Structure 1
Amino acid sequence: MPDSKLRILILSTPVGALGSGLGGGVELTIANLARELRSRGQTIEIIAPTGSQLGDLSIIQIPGELQLTAQTQAQAAAIIMPGDPVLANMWAKARAIQHDYDLIFNTAFDWLPFYLTPFFDIPIAHFVSMGSQIAAIDTAIERVAIDYPGTIGVCTRTQAETFSFAERCCVVGGSGVDPAVYEYCDRPDNTLAWLGRISPEKALEDAVAAAERTGMKLKIMGKIQDPDYWAKIQHDYPHAPIEYLGFLPTHELQQALRTCKGMLMTPRWIEAFGNVAIEALACGVPVIAYRRGGPAEIITDGKTGFLVEPDSIAGLVTAIDRLDEIDRSDCRHAAETVFSQAAWGSAIENWFYRLAK
């Protein structure tokens, strides 16, 4: 590892203020990485939409209209920006102050940062946090991957393979957790958990249906991104044993999560990673997930949870019945080693040094 320290400028997602929950797992990714790199002596500054809060982390607040999320758009969608786009404003600020830094870390899954890459003088490490969503964005990413080798980082190999340029992607992992923040629990209640943005691609209804069949209470935690979708679930499953706890800060989230017997992950799409999975493991909570996307690379089937046939509610129910087979200490151990904040910080730091040399 080089002796010199880096000055790193992190560009946040433009779909919501940090701390709002609108940015999904990217918010946890930025917070954990910034704190880990700062603890290693690196200089960290973050540019994010106005209203962003991440504790004691330094944030340059940028006004403007939020961007549409990629997962709500069709593959053939055109690139659309609002009249006063926070995304463009953030990148204009970054270009103005770029020479105060050694490297920019981009977490925005949008066309503009990739288009702007040739107009910057310092290296940009692009962290691509989703699989293929919109053809125009895929094309922009591929051009950067070709012209600036090694600058496209992805969470998992499964995610990379959704792109035609998979071999040009660097698999750097999706995130890491600080185990000290999450309390281990080896005596759970007879409850289940589901964490995430409440929107159709997350298929919360499958978890609700499984909870109804088993009679086990399901704690639901996360931002309601699509109120109509949430209302439909409540209408369709009026007798399901569910409890909505809201979007919780990490301390409150882990207190509610740690006592659960298991956590369900039910995405309809290919998740790039799955931050909620490693948060559950850190609490000692086994994860039951569809065998698709990032969770299939996080969970060790039969040891830290179960992988079931995608979209199979019956498969979820069968796995729930087997939760007692899991040694919860194995879940915690995975979070303390493979998926720790320190391990991921080392992987990202090594990537940054390669690009900044």
Structure 2
Amino acid sequence: MHVVLIAAARFPLAEPFAGGLESLTWHLCRGLRARGVAVTVFAGHGSDPALGARELTTRPLALSSAARQDVSMAPEAWLAEHHAYLQLMLELQARDDVDVIHNNSLHHLPVAMAGAATAPMVTTLHTPPTPWLEPAVSIADDPRSRYVAVSQHTRRAWSHVADAEVVLNGVDVERWSEGPGGDALAWVGRLVPEKAPHLAIDIARAAGRRVRLAGPVGDREYVETMVLPRLGPDAEYVGHLDTSGLRSLVGHSAATLVTPVWDEPYGLVAAESLACGTPVVAFDRGGLPEVLTEQVGRVVAADDVAAAGAAVDEAVRLSRASCRRHAVRTCSVERMVEEYLRVYGSMSTLRGAA
């Protein structure tokens, strides 16, 4: 079997990952190859050299002076991304050596042009509906296209335009190995308003525990206004860590706080925490309740700092071994890869022009 994986053009497939989309595509490529599947990857600049990815780029984007004088011209970066996907889909239209195209991008063109390719396409829905992708899914009536959502929550969000099945994201449970635990709490993610790390600090103080925060600063104004003033002896920002550093941080923590103020499509941080044996306290947002059970964490009402603070005492008493077993059974890359192979197999009869 030969699978083409299409990633997003804006971020590389490299650690530390920009998000769940990049993590899924990187792990899926490696997992498929480990099972003897031939994989070609198209991805953004700076991707992991070990993947051998072909860069999503133009050849180059050549605009005449006349075209540049058009006052309605879209930003050049947008045009470059658009034409990179156009070039890719035109190439796939002419290839007969591909069995399945797996689209993990958030761009509308792969979906819109799927019917022109010889190989059938499955698109993973990683996000809530977007104004670019939603109409493409609605309009592109290709009987050879399939859709997969990363959670039941995400499936429901797209159900008005797509009949998707669910394959939960996976984490590498070998790399995210069980840790000894500790006294402090952990928070991991991009420091942006929708992830609300400032609420994690408030929750930790309500619970009477220290908290350590790790992740890239995605919104400096928000961090300077809402996060930095809250730091102190009981709340520390430890920086943007690699996977090894994050594993050590989470594995040496009593519990992980997951505090989104938007609906997370899945809940990758929660899955990684459980793989380390560390229980989770999370807001009831998006797909997070699908990752957690009463045996491995606590889910409280969205944005309820007091309830989350009270739940910490319950969570830290949960069995770390149970958290680890739950992650291995339901959150592993191996489980994810096997489920995608099943999806690919169900599409084997769809090859050929529509």
Q: Which TM-score band applies after superposition, normalised by the shorter structure? A: 0.7 to 0.9
Structure 2 regions of 5+ residues with no counterpart? Answer: 61-73, 350-354
Aligned-residue offset at 1:220: 1.8
Matches within 5 A, 1:80-91: 82-91=77-86
Aligned-residue offset at 1:81: 7.2
Task: Tell me the secondary structure at the aligned position of residue 337 of structure 1.
Answer: helix
2:137 equivalent in structure 1:
141
CA distance 1:306–1:83, change in 2 (3 Å): closer
Number of matched residues?
333
Aligned-residue offset at 1:329: 0.7
- Counterpart CA distance in 1 for 2:10 and 2:76 is 12
Matches within 5 A, 1:1-357: 6-19=1-14, 21=16, 23-53=18-48, 56-63=50-57, 82-97=77-92, 98-132=95-129, 134-144=130-140, 146-148=141-143, 151-165=146-160, 168-173=163-168, 175-185=169-179, 187-239=180-232, 241-301=234-294, 303-357=295-349
Contact kept, 8 Å, 1:291 with 1:308, in 2: the verdict is yes
- Counterpart CA distance in 1 for 2:167 and 2:212 is 31
Contact kept, 8 Å, 1:127 with 1:152, in 2: the verdict is yes
What amino acid maps onto 1:163 in structure 2?
W
Structure 1 regions of 5+ residues with no counterpart? Answer: 1-5, 66-78
Residues 193-230 of structure 1: CA distance to partner in whole angstroms, max 9, x if unpaired? 11222222212221121123334222222222222222
Residues 10-44 of structure 1: CA distance to partner in whole angstroms, max 9, x if unpaired? 11112312226563111211121111111111011
CA distance 1:137–1:162, change in 2 (3 Å): same
What amino acid maps onto 2:124 in structure 1?
F
Residues 49-80 of structure 1: CA distance to partner in whole angstroms, max 9, x if unpaired? 11112x62221123479xxxxxxxxxxxxx98
Q: Percent identity?
A: 25
| Alignment root-mean-square deviation, CA | 2.4
Task: Tell me the secondary structure at the aligned position of residue 260 of structure 1.
Answer: coil
What amino acid maps onto 2:246 in structure 1?
L
Contact kept, 8 Å, 1:104 with 1:122, in 2: the verdict is yes
Divergent runs of 4+, >6 A: none
- Counterpart CA distance in 1 for 2:108 and 2:253 is 39
TM-score scaled by structure 1?
A: 0.85
- Counterpart CA distance in 1 for 2:251 and 2:291 is 18
- Counterpart CA distance in 1 for 2:76 and 2:207 is 45
CA distance 1:135–1:62, change in 2 (3 Å): closer
Contact kept, 8 Å, 1:150 with 1:170, in 2: the verdict is no
CA distance 1:334–1:83, change in 2 (3 Å): closer
What amino acid maps onto 2:280 in structure 1?
V
Aligned-residue offset at 1:100: 3.5
What amino acid maps onto 1:112 in structure 2?
L
